[in-house]
Amino acid sequence: MTAATFTLRLARPADASLLATMSREFIEDGLRWTWRAPRIARQIESSDTVVLVALEGRRLAGFAIMSYGDTNAHLNLLAVDPAYRMQGLGRRMVDWLEKTARNAGIFRITLEVRAQNFGGRCFYKALGYREVLLLRGYYQGAEDAVRMRHNLRVDVTSS
C-alpha cells in the first residue's frame, strides 16, 4: 500500500458544507452541532482567519481553522478523517498554520481539546504545546476541556 499524497490549500466557500459535516462527525460528536456551514463560510471569508483544507486527490482528508490576532492565534478546529490518521497529516496542517502565524508576527497559539481526548492531547504535546488550564464544562456544560499553548518565539541570539 502506498502512502497518501496530500495537497493543502485555503478553503473556498463551496467547501463549507463538507467541513461542517466533518466537524459534526469528528469534532462535535456527542455535542450540539455549532460549526455548521454558514459559520464555517463566515470563517472562510474572514480576513482574520485561515481555513485550511487537506485533500487526497479530490477527497477531503482534513481541515483546520485558525483565527489570528495581533500577537496570538487560536486553533479553533482541527479534524482528520480517520482513514487518513497516523500519516502525518495533522502535523503537516499544524506546521503550515504555525509557519503562517510566525510570518504574521504571531507569538503564541492556543487551543482547547476535550479533556478525555488523550490521543489529541498527546498529539499536541508532541508538537510542543503545553497544557495550561483545565476548563470545567467548557463544551456546552457537558465536557471539560484542556487549554493548551505553544510559544512560537524563537531566540534568534542563540542561532
Q: What is the pLDDT of residues 4-54, one digit of tens each?
A: 789 999 999 999 999 999 999 999 998 899 999 999 999 999 999 999 999
- The CATH number of 7-158 is 3.40.630.30
Mean pLDDT, to the nearest integer, of 121-145? 94
- Give the active site residues: 112, 124
Which of 143, 148, 122 shows the shortest CA–CA distance to 133? 148
pLDDT attached to residue 142: 86
What's the full length of the chain, in residues?
A: 159
pLDDT digits (tens, 9 = 90+) for 67-93: 999 899 999 999 999 999 999 999 999
Inter-axis angle of helices 16-26 and 37-45, to 10 degrees?
120
* Cβ density class 109-145: b for 16+ within 10 Å, e for less: bebbbbbeeeebbebbeeeebeeeeeeeebbeeebeb
Cα 156 to chain centroid distance, Å, stands at 27
Q: What is the pTM of this model?
A: 0.91
Q: Is the dihedral of CA 84, 86, 88, 93 positive or negative?
A: positive
Contact predicate 152/140, CB 8 Å? no
Domain extents for the chain?
A: 7-158
